Amino acid sequence: MKGTKYQARLPDQKGYIHYPEEEHQIWAELIARQSACIQGKACDEYMAGLAALDLPMNRIPQLSEVDSVLLDATGWQTAQVPALISFERFFELLASKRFPVATFIRSREEMDYLQEPDIFHEIFGHCPLLTNAAFAHFTQTYGELGLAASPEERVFLARLYWFTVEFGLVNSPDGLKIYGGGILSSPGETQYAMSEQPERKPLDVVTAMRTPYRIDIMQPIYFVLEQIDQLYDLAQQDLMAHVRRAQQLGLFAPSFEMKKNVS
């Protein structure tokens, strides 16, 4: 597993995590910038979840504050984790309706992009949609499938997660919108995803599973849902049969320069 320079902050005996003032300031700058950036671009379901969470603008929230909203909405809660966890632990948590949140925040040198998911990415990017029943159900189902899958099968499942939960787009009565947390927590990707530059395709599970991606570039391809409730329908499908089909067919040629160990 790749290393990281970041270290998660641990809760005290009462479950409270103490962050330095500089880290609260980084949160304040990130949330102010991104809240403005996503206006008119994020899907309604995400915006409703963001309003329900009512995240503080001047400090990093405590996980218990987020949990109180998620539990009432869908029975989910967060789980405090180190900066990096194993795939096994990741799937385990999702399967039990607990969303892993690494309790560190990016440095000023990496305000625009970092490879590790920090607390801003997880809470601002993903937790709002965990108030939505379809998104929450799909995420739990993904965890259950990943827990039972082989390492080879998990690679194909990971591509589906990437092109939905992380980098998914959705149609709406008001036009194309964003629901993927990897986009919604990044100012550059938010602007780029809604521009004319990338290719967009209707979401087909096997096609998404066969599409290579890189984590360190703007995505050349996005997959689009017809509506968020489609995630519930996807969770009812035999996704492991789709994995086997994708394995048989093999990967598409990448639309970018490959690096070693690319999914």
Vertex 121 angle, CA 19 and 189, to 5°? 140
Distances (CA, A) of 193 to 32, 167, 222: 20, 9, 8
Q: Which listed residue (121, 122, 153, 242) is catalytic?
A: 121
* 126 flagged as catalytic: yes
| Catalytic site includes residue 166 | yes
User: In the block, which residue shows the tokens 């937790």?
Assistant: 127
Q: Which of 45, 166, 189, 242 is catalytic?
A: 166
Q: Extract the runs of DSSP E, i.e. beta strands, from the chain.
A: 77-81, 98-102, 169-172, 175-178, 199-202, 221-225
Q: Which of these, 37, 72, 60, 53, lies nearest to 178 by C-alpha position? A: 37
| Active-site residue, selected from the candidate residues 185, 186, 189, 242 | 185
Which secondary-structure segment (H or E) carries 193? helix 187-193
Q: Which of 126, 186, 189, 242 is catalytic?
A: 126
Sheet of 175-178: strands edge to edge?
A: 175-178, 169-172, 221-225, 199-202
Q: Is 137 a catalytic residue?
A: no
Which amino acids are annotated catalytic?
Answer: 121, 126, 166, 185
